[in-house]
A = this chain, B = another copy of it.
Amino acid sequence: MRLTLVCLMKPVLHGYFRSSCSWRVRIAFALKGIEYDQVAVNLIKDGGQQLTEQYKTLNPMQQVPAVEIDDITLSQSLAVIQYIDETRPGPRLLPADPKARAQVRMISDLIASGIQPLQNLSVLQKIGVEKLPWAQHFINRGFQALEPILKQTAGKYCVGDEISMADICLIPQVYNAERFKVDVGQYPTIKRLNETLAEIEAFKLSHPSRQPDTPADLQA
């Protein structure tokens, strides 16, 4: 008799309930129906738990998320999401058509490179000007660009009628916009997509108000 030992390790997400990049990964896991463990990295407590030497080995950028999956450790949420998509069954997170894939990546990168890094905690801590107008400026600049793009690409969701990585990026960015008191009503397509996506179970379950590390007063 031959004994085969199959070791199925669940992926581990090191993240923070309110981090929009952690939320992106939580949505991807939820859409794919992948079970995972969460380790909380509190960005505020103890001067920021992402700054410890121990965490630095997981993500040398000292940001969340970091994901241990299979036998590698990945950071950068879009790299993680595309790795999950390429190695796991379940609904596609990027469409099959190359042009639609390019549009999904364009929208995702517009948010992940063009908006989020500029309203990130570590940047807001360093700027010499007022934080709220700074964050509003860069979110509005991004949304002013995103709105006409989405008007062209969107069907029911950001690109056509299938949920994709673009939607995964959009909803946490709208959440950030609301935190920084940006009037999302100025962007009718963004607003409509956000309302549609907010009703979907994978987006609800992964919401910052429903995580193991969500403080009691912020729980839904």
Contacts and interface: CB of A to CB of B under 8 A. Distances in A.
B60 A148 contact: yes
A116 to B, nearest CB: 7
Contacts of A137: 126
B117 A98 contact: no
Given A144-B60, A145-B62, A113 B117 contact: yes
A179 interface: no
Nearest to A59: B145
A114 B117 contact: yes
A105 interface: yes
Interface in A123-181: 123, 126-129, 134, 137, 141-142, 144-149
Nearest to A69: B102
Nearest to A148: B60
A75 interface: yes
24 contacts: A62-B145, A63-B114, A70-B99, A72-B99, A74-B102, A75-B106, A76-B113, A76-B114, A79-B102, A79-B103, A79-B105, A80-B102, A82-B105, A83-B102, A86-B98, A87-B98, A109-B112, A112-B113, A113-B113, A113-B117, A117-B118, A126-B137, A127-B127, A127-B128
Interface of A: 59-63, 70, 72, 74-76, 78-80, 82-83, 86-87, 98-99, 101-103, 105-106, 108-110, 112-114, 116-118, 123, 126-129, 134, 137, 141-142, 144-149
Top 9 A-B pairs ranked by shortest CB distance? A128-B128, A79-B105, A60-B145, A128-B129, A76-B109, A83-B102, A79-B106, A61-B145, A113-B113
